Structure 1
């Protein structure tokens, strides 16, 4: 099942899915560009829905302005399924005070609580764990958060989605999560691979069994985005079409379509037809509808044994 903000749903109910995006996000690294407007979030989802979008997986983790309590009403009002995240980003996105508090607590327990009980007092449960690597490596913060994510995965089965800095460090991430921490590779989603157009590295990551998210077409300053269709075709030709995911990763207010940017609709208005020319419409449909259900679907009651509502 997919753990949406309105309850658990069947993977097939995701429909056309933006597998990595953001409705709300705040970071000291992006001053003045915060995603914190419920009105803008509503209009962005409506615009996405109008071009055929049916679900969005939000990768905004703990401490970055998720506004989880607003997500259920946004989902109801727009008809778009939403999946929230727990986890922790790179240390640069947090105050030292918050990091000190988290280090004093049990980080894995926090992740498990947000996956099974709810985020804060909202009652909204997360459906994935988001963590982040560094540029061509893993610092102590990344190793701490990924180890906690692995513990939370083993307790719940939740998938672990990984921000790869400029698309690098995928093999280091897999060595830690899958090698040292015994997370099954198919429970790992590697994000931003299109930002490092290294086909050999992509193939090595795919051979592990992990899911590969080529996301960020809303980021007009990423010069590698024009290579994404070729990367998708190469991976599909190598037999990894069932491991590919596509997302928009809208992280600033200026990138939203409601503020004149490409935003979430761009994924289906412009990226989808371009990918269709590269890999064929059938595979694009699989990437947008079938693969996200496999990547984010979990047997949530496997270990916990507690009944949860199932929505149809």
Structure 2
């Protein structure tokens, strides 16, 4: 497999691939590393994000709270609307990095065609979305089965008519389990990384099997410093986190505003302990609100603005402006550029 269609639209030097094109690292600003503007999953019935106007209003709130950029972490087959994401980015001024990839297998019903894709077919799909353009309709992903690479699948376009391309590969595993479907997705993500140099996000359940995921990806040619472990904070074990950071992996902290399972105070304390232990340059921050019932614009709460308006001031008071700047700006500038 060879990379095709990669252009450096921002000139020489490291760039980050957003839905509106490649941008210089220095222009990214403060990043929310994990959000969803559109999403639909059988694991979240009634919590679909499927209204462009509402998602736009929520994105405006995020931007107004002091966030300049975000990763839209919805991969293939879970209700993405890639053209709408590009329209929202153009309207709000948010720099949005979109995701190709495939979530943990539990999000796809037993008869879902994506479950039958081979690792090679997934890799072909992921590379296409990274380099040529993201599918306009996720249902077209099923046409990558049986070794066939169909010609002429429609891809999403920006308001200016350019292809919408992904900037990251999203994968996932279950709680202390990597089944055959998820293993093939990780293998495909590794192949897509080898071809493009794109970074990789892995959804973890309570930070379980984190070292095992890094081992599997490393065997496929993905260095740990090209990986962010999403929801690492769901296991508030600073020792575990520092061991992962010591390998070079990025730690995704995105559990704020979830007092039913863990209070913000616990997340703040975890962050402080990891920062004091030397892990400041390995943490990425996000909100991962992800549900209709949690978006103000859909009638829920607390909304995307919670991150910048209510959580970050407490974090700044605890670890200082400089450290928060590292988490929001310097670390994304290390993680997001393609490595080749």
TM-score by length of 2: 0.84
- CA distance in structure 2 between the partners assigned to 1:48 and 1:238 by the alignment: 30
Residue aligning to 2:321 = 281
Residue in structure 1 matching 2:244, options 205, 210, 213: 205
- CA distance in structure 2 between the partners assigned to 1:105 and 1:147 by the alignment: 9
- CA distance in structure 2 between the partners assigned to 1:104 and 1:129 by the alignment: 14
Residue aligning to 2:131 = 116
Deviation at 1:203, TM superposition (A): 1.3
1:134-149 equivalences in 2 (<5 Å)? 134-149=174-189
Per-residue CA shift, 1:199-230, capped at 9, x if unaligned?
A: 22111111100111111324443325431111
Find the residue that maps to 1:166 and give its secondary structure: coil
Per-residue CA shift, 1:127-149, capped at 9, x if unaligned?
A: 00000022123222221110110
Residue aligning to 1:35 = 49
1:179-218 equivalences in 2 (<5 Å)? 180-218=219-257
CA RMSD of aligned residues (A): 1.5
Deviation at 1:12, TM superposition (A): 2.0
Q: Which runs of 4+ in 1 moved over 2 A?
A: 99-105, 218-222, 257-260
1:129-278 equivalences in 2 (<5 Å)? 129-178=169-218, 180-223=219-262, 225-258=264-297, 259-278=299-318
Moved more, 226-235 or 153-162: 226-235
2:90 maps to 1:76: yes
Relative to structure 1, the CA distance from residue 213 to residue 228 in structure 2 (aligned partners, 3 Å threshold; closer, same or farther) is: same
Find the residue that maps to 1:298 and give its secondary structure: coil
Find the residue that maps to 2:74 and give its secondary structure: coil
Residue aligning to 1:11 = 25
Residue aligning to 1:107 = 122
Find the residue that maps to 1:24 and give its secondary structure: coil
Relative to structure 1, the CA distance from residue 104 to residue 137 in structure 2 (aligned partners, 3 Å threshold; closer, same or farther) is: closer
Could you tell me whether the CA contact under 8 Å between 1:194 and 1:225 is conserved in 2?
no
Could you tell me whether the CA contact under 8 Å between 1:216 and 1:248 is conserved in 2?
yes
The structure with the largest helix share of the pair is 1
Find the residue that maps to 1:167 and give its secondary structure: coil
Per-residue CA shift, 1:60-100, capped at 9, x if unaligned?
A: 00101110011221111111111100010111211323235
TM-score by length of 1: 0.92
Q: Which has the higher contact order (CA 8 A, sep 6+)?
A: 1
Could you tell me whether the CA contact under 8 Å between 1:19 and 1:56 is conserved in 2?
yes
Find the residue that maps to 1:84 and give its secondary structure: strand
User: Gaps (5+ residues) in structure 1?
Assistant: 303-312
Relative to structure 1, the CA distance from residue 177 to residue 288 in structure 2 (aligned partners, 3 Å threshold; closer, same or farther) is: same
